[in-house]
Amino acid sequence: MTDKLRLGILASGGGTNLQSIIDHCAANSLDAEIVTVISNNPDAGALARASNAGIPAQIINHRDFSTRDEFDRTVVSALQSAQVELVVLAGFMRIITDTFVTAFPNRIINIHPALLPAFPGLNVQRKAIEYGVRFSGCTVHLVDGGVDTGPIIMQAVVPVLTDDNEDTLAARILVQEHKIYPRVIQLFAENRVKVTGRHVYIDPAPQAASGVLVNPALDD
């Protein structure tokens, strides 16, 4: 059996994506293990989820640092001490610096609750509803120096329904997040993620998704 991919998960909030990765690891559907969970927020629900699963967790509070770079250097050294091979941002509410990005080239991934490049940044479910888009969804992407700008690895499309509010839309998007994030991690575990400039290739390539989505439906 090959060694499991060593994951370091960074989370600032409730941690449902962390939980989904914990559950997939426990079910042996991921050739990966979470070796550390790091939160910048001492009150993050993610810390309790890590502790319930017996995963070492640490708080590195950004408020204890005078610069972003100093904070990032401490996070990077914690990840390196844990011999992390893939850094997984799961609701990590900090912009990361080049210091961090260059320490883990093409080995930091993020999940964003919109179909990038539409709606980067914060409160994006509300912005999608306010804009009136018919589809939103979620995106797993590599992290570069920008805000939600890195090469896209996988996306799931979620229709926006007439009576949606930001909470109902966020909840339906989260269901898909919990599916695609573990899937992408498994692709890394299988060493199938190849990056050329902005383009990410899965090697060998899975069957292309063929469905065309129309919302509202053409026929009623």
Residues that bind ligand GRF (CB under 6 A): 11, 13-17, 90-91, 111-113, 138, 174, 177
Q: How many CB atoms sit inside 10 A of residue 191's CB? A: 10
Chain residue at closest Cβ approach to ligand GRF: 91
| CB closer to ligand GRF out of 42 and 216 | 42
CB of 104 to ligand GRF, least distance (A): 18
| CB closer to ligand GRF out of 97 and 110 | 110
Structure tokens belonging to residue 123: 């409160």
DSSP state of 96: P
Cis before 117 (ω within 30):
yes
Positions marked catalytic: 112
Contact 159/139 with Cβ under 8 angstroms? no
| CB closer to ligand GRF out of 20 and 97 | 20
| CB closer to ligand GRF out of 111 and 185 | 111
CB of 84 to ligand GRF, least distance (A): 18
CB of 89 to ligand GRF, least distance (A): 7
CB of 92 to ligand GRF, least distance (A): 7
Rounded CA-CA distance 166/151 in Å is 26
DSSP state of 163: T
Structure tokens belonging to residue 147: 């805000």
Partner residues linked to 196 by β-bridges: 199
